[in-house]
Amino acid sequence: MGGVAIDDGPSGVKAPDGGWGWAVLFGCFVITGFSYAFPKALSVFFKELNREFEIGYSDTAWISSILLAMLYGTGPICSVCVNRFGCRPVMMVGGLFASSGMVMASFCTSIIQIYLTAGVITGLGLALNFQPSLIMLNRYFNKRRPLANGLAAAGSPVFLSSLSPLGQIFQYQYGWRGGFLILGGMLLNCCACGALMRPLEPPKTSRENTKEIAQKKPRKLLDFSVFKDRGFVIYMVAATIMVLGLFVPPVFVVNYAKDMGVQDTKAAFLLSILGFVDIFARPTCGVVAGLERVRPYCIYLFGFSMFFNGFADLMGSLSDSYAGLAVFCVFFGISYGMIGALQFEVLMEIVGTQKFSSAIGLVLLSEAVAVLIGPPSAGKLLDVKKYLLFILAGTEVVISAFVLLLGNLFCIKKKSEIPVSKEEAAEREELHKLDGKATGNVKLDSVEVEQFLKNEPEKNGEVGTNSETCV
């Protein structure tokens, strides 16, 4: 199958769907909160940084953009580190990087130095936490995976609704330097979350089989065979376009309101409104996506959520008062929560557990450039014509929705016709032999392993697929 070799998740272990998985879910909740909310929460410091360094919004926007670009662009590096060293040590080292970056940023004397510390170092630290936490979550949950992804994704709005007001308070009490220092201390919690990521242990018989197979097949730290899946390619293209505009409104809505004459604390409260709505949207969407009749069609629910988000942006361009911006944040929060709950669930269904660690790294890398140029480009518009900011973001997200939906309607009308290579056929035959030798009749009931070991006659060179492993 071309899976990774060292930390690929024991194939003979059934996902517990509970137990210690709830502790893993809590850790993923906290990590997701920091990873997605932190770049947006830093926007409350932008106006103070503008005064300190005498720069414009497009300059300060680079802080969030670099942070997000590191979170996305280092995806393949994180995949290799996880496959080589395991999730737990990678996350604990990442927590130290994230914290030290913000602490160093509090002593910076130029905006370039802040780019390197709060942007590059903290972004790398969050990346080393975010991706491994998702990998562990998807190993611990199978049947309840949509709900688990929805609950973990709820960490983003929970932290956003709290970090934004906290950041404003820190700025008033201690200035932006003191605020950065305190936030750096808070990021040390990522190390504790990393300690929760206990690896799953396979049964003894299954462990012996896994070791025997691992010795015979070449080891891969990054699996590029996912590009053979048309569903994955369509997903990656659509997600890259979506990210161009997805993060623009949350990053700039506070400063947009301040420029309209809204009081600073009221402007910061807009992010709290967005986050509060998002808190309920993500778990609710996760529950709906987990329904038996809905789960095979999650890809289309994801496409609808993207269209909804883009439409909300376009309507937000008509807002000319604080009340209008508050209403926009409500609808944006609903659609944003739906996207957050579904994006990695859909990716998991497309590629399966065995290739997820490589797939997510490659997807995040493809989105990195879009994340890097999106907010600064919007910042230029905010400096010139403010309403164009929402129009640009909305157009990009709507286009991505059409790419995803039309691509799946016209390019994936039937099962993917991917011929089985000689290496895969030999590996499958070897697995059958080892499975017959296993004592105690151990049943490998992971969804992907069942599909891999399934011995059905193949027709016209097609590989058997199911709703869990393809679109």
Q: At residue 454, does pLDDT exceed 60?
A: no
Residues 72, 194 contacting (CB under 8 angstroms): no
Residue 149 scores a pLDDT above 60: yes
Q: How far apart are CA 57 and CA 46, in angstroms?
A: 7
Q: Which two tokens stand for residue 454?
A: 């399934």
CATH topology for 15-198 is Growth Hormone; Chain: A; (1.20.1250)
Give the pLDDT mean for 423-438: 49
Residue 211 pLDDT greater than 70, yes or no: no
CA distance 104 to 116: 10
Mean pLDDT is highest, among 16-30, 378-392, 408-422, for 16-30
Mean pLDDT score, 17-31: 88
Whether the predicted pLDDT of 256 surpasses 50: yes
Higher confidence at residue 372 or residue 339? 339
Beta-carbon count within 10 A of 315 CB: 16
pLDDT over 90 at 340, yes or no:
no
The answer to whether domain 222-420 has CATH 1.20.1250.20 is: yes
Identify the pLDDT of residue 209.
Answer: 56
Banded pLDDT at 20 (limits 50, 70, 90): confident
Asked if residue 398 has pLDDT above 90, the reply is yes
Q: Using the predicted structure, report yes or no on whether residue 323 has a pLDDT greater than 80.
A: yes
Which pLDDT belongs to residue 217? 53
**Residues 403-420: what's their mean pLDDT?**
65
Mean pLDDT of the chain: 76
Is the pLDDT at 463 greater than 70? The verdict is: no
**What's the pLDDT score for residue 470?**
35
Rounded Cα distance, 279 and 302, in Å? 18
CA-wise closest residue to 306 among 330, 334, 329, 279 = 334
Question: Residue 445: helix, strand or coil by DSSP?
Answer: coil
Residue 450: band (very low, low, confident or very high) from pLDDT cuts 50, 70, 90: very low
Between 425 and 112, the more confident residue is 112
The letter for the amino acid at 143 is K
Distances (CA, A) of 46 to 19, 216, 237: 43, 55, 31
Which of the four pLDDT bands, split at 50, 70 and 90, describes residue 26? very high
Q: With beta carbons less than 8 A apart as the criterion, state whether 362 and 226 touch.
A: yes
pLDDT for 349-373, tens place per residue? 888 777 777 787 788 778 777 776 7
Shared fold status for 15-198 and 222-420? yes
Q: Residue 79: its pLDDT value, please?
A: 78
Measured between alpha carbons, how far is 176 from 278 in angstroms, rounded to an integer?
A: 27
Structure tokens at 315: 């309507």
pLDDT of residue 297: 84
Read off the pLDDT of residues 297-311 as tens digits, 9 standing for 90 and up.
888 899 999 999 999
Looking at beta carbons, which pairs linking 217-220 to residues 24 or more positions away fall under 8 Å?
217/5, 217/427, 219/4, 219/5, 219/6, 220/2, 220/3, 220/4, 220/5, 220/83, 220/358
Structure confidence at residue 438 as a pLDDT band (50, 70, 90): very low
Confidence of residue 331 (pLDDT cuts 50, 70, 90): very high
- pLDDT at residue 174 is higher than 70: yes
In this structure, what is the dihedral angle of CA atoms 165, 167, 171, 173, given to the nearest 10 degrees? 70
Radius of gyration (Cα) for the chain, nearest Å? 22
CA distance 369 to 244: 9
pLDDT tens digits, residue range 219-236?
A: 566 777 888 888 888 888
Residue 399 reports pLDDT greater than 90: yes
Least confident among 143-147, 197-201, 247-251: 247-251
The residue with greater pLDDT, 50 or 117, is 117
**Helices and strands of the chain, counted as H and E runs:** 20, 0
In the predicted structure, residue 255 carries a pLDDT above the cut 60:
yes
Average pLDDT over residues 59-87: 81
Residue 102 has pLDDT above 70, yes or no: yes
Any idea where the domains of the chain sit in the sequence? 15-198, 222-420
